[in-house]
Amino acid sequence: MKILITGSSGLIGSEAVRFFDSLGFQVLGIDNNLRRYFFGPPGDTSWVLAKLTQECKHFQHLSYDIRDRETIENLFRRERFDCVIHCAAQPSHDWAGREPLTDFDINAAATLNLLEATRRYSPSAPFVFMSTNKVYGDVPNEIPLRELASRWEYDDDRYRDGIDETMRIDQTTHSIFGASKVAADVMVQEYGRYFGMKTVCFRGGCLTGPQHSSAELHGFLAYLAKAAYHDLPYVIYGYKGKQVRDNIHSHDVVQAFWEFIQNPTSGAVYNLGGERPNSISILEAIQILEAKLEKPLKYSYREEPRKGDHICYISNMGKFKEAYPGWKIERDLDQIFDEILATLKEMERSANV
């Protein structure tokens, strides 16, 4: 079986490469390290690519630009993929405001390039798209909240299990990033509904794990852990540091991909997150890291929140679990923290050799 993974040196893409390589799939990965362009040296994914090249037996790396329509079409014409997993993206809503055209070309137009190439040359291939909860814009902030000691909490029992896929995606502030991902998300759905292709949009919450090339503008837990480990200054933007996210390990994300690939449908949409058990606020995360590292984190506070930021977001996974009852969260928050810190230690040792 031949599979294409875009963003193959990123957090989710690299996890997918390892997983499908372990199954013996022929894995082609597209990644041109634009993350370094977005975030500078902290975003550089070359270290991940080096590990994939060394560890994976069935992996071929392609330094292509998914915005290049001719290159993508030629690749699909030549390879005839059995499955496509599209993880490549400009992932930061802060960065998108600097270069809206670049953001849209990568997130929306390039997604259309991949969809059309799949339709022409691999129409029966499942097409898995890594979307985002930012497609809901700041509608989650309309939910009544109550303030607790270390976090904001829903003050409406209907949202006890989190936000589901019925939340509207229009008449809201998305950020430029969120709007470009809406365009891609809707187009992926439409290729499923209109053309009958086997497509799915996974609307991810906070995706995390040890392979995250995190930076201040992207990578909540991984960047916070990096700041704590290396004694870097950290800035909390608004909401008293009590804003809540549910975090999902890249392992559990890829397991969800695999469930869909084995039993695909057309035009599917699912939220994808760590649910309430893996939810945490910035203040709570700081407390855990300070305890694990046995030292304080250097942080400051700015009253102005990031534009379009969610105050409290927890993913309701009920729809996906009903469709794929074999899936469950396998990495809890404690494991996530420990894996990220272990990787930081390993990278520090390697740098000192």
- The pLDDT of residue 238 is 96
| Strand partners of residue 269 | 201
State mean pLDDT over 250-254.
98
pLDDT tens-place string over residues 319-331: 999 999 999 999 9
Q: What is the dihedral of CA 286, 291, 42, 254, to 10 degrees?
A: -90
- Contact residues for 230 (Cβ-Cβ < 8 A; gap 6+): 344
Cβ 210 vs Cβ 343: under 8 Å: yes
Pick from 255, 4, 270: which is nearest to 115 by CA?
4
- The pLDDT of residue 347 is 86
For residue 62, give the 3-state DSSP assignment.
strand
Pick from 34, 40, 11, 174: which is nearest to 105 by CA?
34
pLDDT tens-place string over residues 21-33: 999 999 999 999 9
Backbone φ and ψ of 30, nearest 5°: -105, 125
- The pLDDT of residue 308 is 78
- The pLDDT of residue 349 is 85
State mean pLDDT over 289-297.
97
Amino acid at 115: L
More confident residue, 108 or 216: 108
DSSP element (H, E) containing 207: strand 206-208
Cβ 308 vs Cβ 175: under 8 Å: yes
State mean pLDDT over 90-114.
96
Give percent of the chain above pLDDT 70: 100
Is the pLDDT at 132 greater than 60? The verdict is yes
Mean pLDDT, the chain, rounded, equals: 96
Give the global pTM.
0.96
- The pLDDT of residue 140 is 97
Is the pLDDT at 352 greater than 80? The verdict is no
**Ordered domains of the chain (ranges, CATH):** 2-352 (3.40.50.720)
Backbone φ and ψ of 99, nearest 5°: -135, 75
- The pLDDT of residue 353 is 54
More confident residue, 349 or 282: 282
Is the pLDDT at 1 greater than 70? The verdict is yes
State mean pLDDT over 274-285.
98
Is the pLDDT at 217 greater than 80? The verdict is no
> b or e along 324-334 (b: 16 or more beta carbons within 10 Å of the residue's beta carbon)?
beebebebebe
